[in-house]
Structure 1
């Protein structure tokens, strides 16, 4: 089977777990014998684009003509079986779905966020969960609040793209929802159940579980929605050293906040930004991993990494966090009082949940389990395409999904 995997990589200035997950999934598919043809663009390319393409950047989320031409050429050259889309913004555009369909290719999308409805994709603004654009034909609140990159102009472009591509998204042949929460988001958007499969991300097995460490680890991006301030407030309710050490291994706009906390308390240690090996080392030194998100966090990869390393997780009851933790940790409301009360419980109970954490990883989040699920979806899509595609467009099968190009 030959699959085009399309993804607009996020800027390296704002490291994204989604980039890592897509790269890992490509490697996992190749190891399973799938011929993967990457169709990748990076937001880092924007500064070096030719002037003609830069002039079209404002409309790129809507159409991105250069990407459509490149994809059409790739399809003609490679003759793939299907297109698997991840993030299309800003250099690929959702129009890639229409381009693939015009060439008779079924399209599968992995949904990593809420971008079909919400301009920034988070359902979060000004420090709180926000659903103001849900159910609207046009996301006017996104413009009013400058939700996309803090710009009314860019928010207007994204709101226009969401309106233009409502029909595009509803034409996608099948969706992969990372959790039940994303599946519900898609159903609310009008996607029927029979076009949704729940498939979380897989991470490679890190090897034998190390003996339990001590203290806690926070290894999420240092941004408001990830709950750093909530965690530090809860931590401050306890005497210095009473819970061991709180390690923070990441980077982001709230870095000065954690640096100040580390300067004020000897039991807060800021490790700075870490690569995968660094995070894993910090995790093995710790007893509990904390996921304190204050938004409907879709699928924090750090939780899966914690489970794989036999570390239970203390998380908030938002988004996909309860689904990921299962019986391998604790979930609380995203309040200072509840999190503060749970911290000593987690420290005391960590050793008793290491086996449960590892077992949950092995049953649900290994590449063997999840790549098989993905291959089943691929096969069903391709086989359905062969059954339904009794005509051709430029030599490719076409079925009810085929739509004309502009």
Structure 2
């Protein structure tokens, strides 16, 4: 393969019925590659198609989820017609299927798969169930997922995911493709699947392009921000309890977001004398302005997370992050440099972290400029494409 020319890239993505962060990453990377004069083709399916399927198609869905012949044919055709150098896959569930890997292999083109979640090891993709971190499928086998109905609360749908993952582990395909993990923590977890070779696993975070500046700490308001879903998974109950225990001298906590615990949050504020202001849904741009004028963003997550873009957004305006020392969030934030970390479910630790998070604004902004700009991300992605191997 000629590494001196701009590589032709085939991006493959299966959209979920509800839009999410993965879709944004696909759009951003496609735009970035095109801006640098790469030929980019997007092959996509959308799970909204499931609603339009005939009964016959739905009967065969468990089979096509494992291997979709249509994907196999269409990917081979696109590789040939587009003179593709690298196939970059983001999501294959449910309609694309891992057939994309076999098609690229047949055409002798390297594949790189971005790991947005933990699905290769956990059918539920989160390593979380029943209110706690769960790695049973790694320790005791994928059958544990079926027992607990980990995918969408359905034993049948979970079984389909398990059969697919098991089949492709047996064929050895997971050991023949390349991977982009978003954090070192992700990479470490992925390598627990022993057939994957360490030299095939690269680390490249997501990026945002920002022209924001860093407001000095002295010019910021004495306030902290939570921006996200009001959900037990996000640790909102621990955060509110911490603010209650801080008492009268607590700084203001601004809460941007909605979710299943919204009424609980409002009731908590009514019943306790706490310095918490709930703003409900706040558009991303407005939320970023609030974060830029605050002392820190607080992320008390109770699970490993995927890649919390809120952390990078906070760094882009020079705002440090206080977060659980858990999973990907804990991997991104550096204690005493870009924020403060605490034991996920320890309320006193949250309070201590809030009180010691000072003097880090410039360092957080420097972290953004060093790791999370489009310019740096493009260099990393091109280097990964160059390092991808077929054999």
The question of a shared fold, defined as TM-score above 0.5 by the shorter chain, is answered with yes
Corresponding residue to 1:245 among 248, 252, 259? 252
Which digits, 9 at most, give the CA deviation of each residue in 1:14-51, with x for residues without a partner?
x5222222221221222222222111222333223455
**SS state at 2:17 partner:** coil
State the 1:196 CA deviation.
1.3
Corresponding residue to 2:340 among 330, 334, 342? 330
Corresponding residue to 1:140 among 139, 143, 164? 143
State the 1:3 CA deviation.
0.6
1:395 aligned partner: none
CA contact (8 A) 1:328 1:353 kept: yes
Corresponding residue to 1:193 among 179, 184, 198? 198
**SS state at 1:209 partner:** coil
Moved more, 192-201 or 140-149: 192-201
Moved more, 304-313 or 2-11: 2-11
**SS state at 2:191 partner:** helix
**SS state at 1:80 partner:** coil
Corresponding residue to 2:276 among 256, 268, 276? 268
Alpha carbons of structure 1 residues 252 and 53: separation in structure 2 relative to 1, 3 Å: farther
CA contact (8 A) 2:71 2:99 kept: no
Paired with 1:105 and 1:292, the residues of 2 have a C-alpha distance of 42
Paired with 2:385 and 2:317, the residues of 1 have a C-alpha distance of 30
Pairing 1:151–2:159 present: no
1:397 aligned partner: none
Pairing 1:4–2:27 present: no
State the 1:143 CA deviation.
0.8
1:393 aligned partner: none
**SS state at 1:320 partner:** helix
Corresponding residue to 2:108 among 96, 104, 110? 104
CA contact (8 A) 2:112 2:177 kept: yes
What's the TM-score once normalised by structure 1's chain length?
0.86
CA contact (8 A) 2:175 2:197 kept: no
CA contact (8 A) 1:243 1:344 kept: no
Corresponding residue to 2:301 among 282, 289, 293? 293
Alignment of 1:331-350 (within 5 A): 331-334=341-344, 335-346=346-357, 349=358
Corresponding residue to 1:44 among 45, 48, 61? 48
Alpha carbons of structure 1 residues 274 and 165: separation in structure 2 relative to 1, 3 Å: farther
2:4 aligned partner: none
Paired with 2:284 and 2:28, the residues of 1 have a C-alpha distance of 13
Corresponding residue to 2:238 among 230, 233, 239? 230
Uncovered stretches (5+) of structure 1, i.e. residues with no partner? 386-399, 401-406
Alpha carbons of structure 1 residues 172 and 367: separation in structure 2 relative to 1, 3 Å: farther
Paired with 1:303 and 1:360, the residues of 2 have a C-alpha distance of 11
**SS state at 1:183 partner:** helix
Alpha carbons of structure 1 residues 206 and 252: separation in structure 2 relative to 1, 3 Å: farther
Pairing 1:22–2:32 present: no
CA contact (8 A) 1:62 1:161 kept: yes
Uncovered stretches (5+) of structure 2, i.e. residues with no partner? 1-6
1:317 aligned partner: 325
Alpha carbons of structure 1 residues 268 and 46: separation in structure 2 relative to 1, 3 Å: farther
Moved more, 216-225 or 198-207: 216-225
Paired with 1:46 and 1:226, the residues of 2 have a C-alpha distance of 30
Moved more, 142-151 or 319-328: 319-328
CA RMSD of aligned residues (A): 2.2
CA contact (8 A) 1:202 1:366 kept: yes
CA contact (8 A) 1:98 1:168 kept: no
Alpha carbons of structure 1 residues 83 and 300: separation in structure 2 relative to 1, 3 Å: same
